[in-house]
């Protein structure tokens, strides 16, 4: 199945694109690695799910992006590629598609420097309308303000981690297998959520996920041992 490929003209400077992309990849847990002689961003080892790949080039504000997954035979052993459509591996494909959509959205945000310049040229932002009293004394110019850039803030992952982590702890006592599944969801979500503005929620979900997974496995094994002891 073919890779997802797109090319967009963002209208933004390359240093802004680099800053947004590197911040996004770091928060989502991607690492820059070599694959087939090319540098790509990779997430996951293929132990639980297919590893995710994003390759991105940009120049003069134009971004070329490709995204795909690989079939994992064993951790670190892959065969073939998958795009972002199709039934096979639907859940993981949707995860990667959501990440790609968010990255493209951030890259196409209006250039804040241009917006600030446009605002500064209109009355009411550092200028006076004709006949208006000066807002700032002439001998004390207004201090320049930093220009904000919208960056990735995975608060939703922090909340997901907390919810699934708590349910993992609860499920451990009744349905240990469900506790393991919920804990496995909470751990990576919490790891990403710890890098958001809701880092405390993400950390709590991450810890609950680890505790829920461990407790579920212990109870599951204890019940198996107890069951076989009666045989």
Indicate the range of 17-31, 46-60, 118-132 predicted with least confidence.
118-132
More confident residue, 1 or 52: 52
Confidence (pTM) = 0.79
pLDDT tens-digit readout, 135-190: 445 555 555 555 578 899 999 999 999 999 999 999 999 999 999 999 999 999 99
How many residues comprise the chain? 231
CATH code of domain 4-107: 3.30.310
Domain boundaries, the chain: 4-107, 155-229
pLDDT at 198: 95
Q: Is the pLDDT of residue 126 over 50?
A: no
Cβ neighbours of residue 204 under 8 Å, at least 6 residues apart?
A: 161, 162, 165, 190
Q: Is the pLDDT score of 124 beyond 80? A: no
Q: Are 33 and 40 in contact (CB under 8 A)?
A: yes
pLDDT of residue 114: 65
pLDDT at 62 over 70: yes
β-pair type (77-82, 62-74): antiparallel
Task: Give ∠ CA 156-158-162 in degrees, rounded to 5.
Answer: 115
Minimum mean pLDDT among 56-60, 88-92, 131-135: which range? 131-135
As a whole number, the mean pLDDT across the chain is: 86
Contacts with 122 (C-beta within 8 Å, 6 or more apart), sequence order: none
């Amino acid at each position: 199945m073919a890779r997802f490929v797109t090319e967009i003209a963002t209208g933004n400077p390359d240093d802004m694109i680099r800053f947004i992309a590197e911040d996004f990849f770091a928060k989502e847990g991607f690492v820059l690695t070599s694959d087939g002689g090319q540098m790509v961003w990779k997430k996951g080892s293929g132990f639980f799910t297919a590893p995710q790949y994003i390759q991105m080039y940009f120049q003069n504000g134009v971004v070329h992006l490709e995204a795909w997954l690989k079939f994992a035979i064993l951790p670190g052993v892959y065969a073939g590629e998958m795009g972002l459509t199709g039934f096979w591996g639907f859940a993981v494909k949707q995860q990667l598609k959501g990440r790609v959509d968010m990255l493209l959205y951030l890259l196409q945000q209006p250039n804040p420097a241009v917006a600030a310049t446009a605002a500064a040229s209109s009355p009411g932002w550092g200028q006076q309308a004709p006949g208006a009293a000066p807002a700032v004394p002439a001998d004390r110019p207004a201090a320049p303000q930093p220009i904000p850039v919208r960056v990735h803030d995975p608060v939703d992952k922090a909340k997901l981690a907390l919810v699934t982590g708590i349910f993992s702890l609860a499920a451990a006592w009744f349905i240990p297998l469900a506790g393991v599944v919920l804990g496995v969801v909470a751990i990576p979500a919490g790891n990403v959520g710890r890098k958001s503005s809701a880092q405390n929620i993400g950390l709590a979900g991450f810890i609950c996920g680890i505790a829920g997974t461990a407790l579920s496995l212990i109870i599951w094994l204890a019940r198996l041992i107890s069951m076989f002891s009666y045989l």
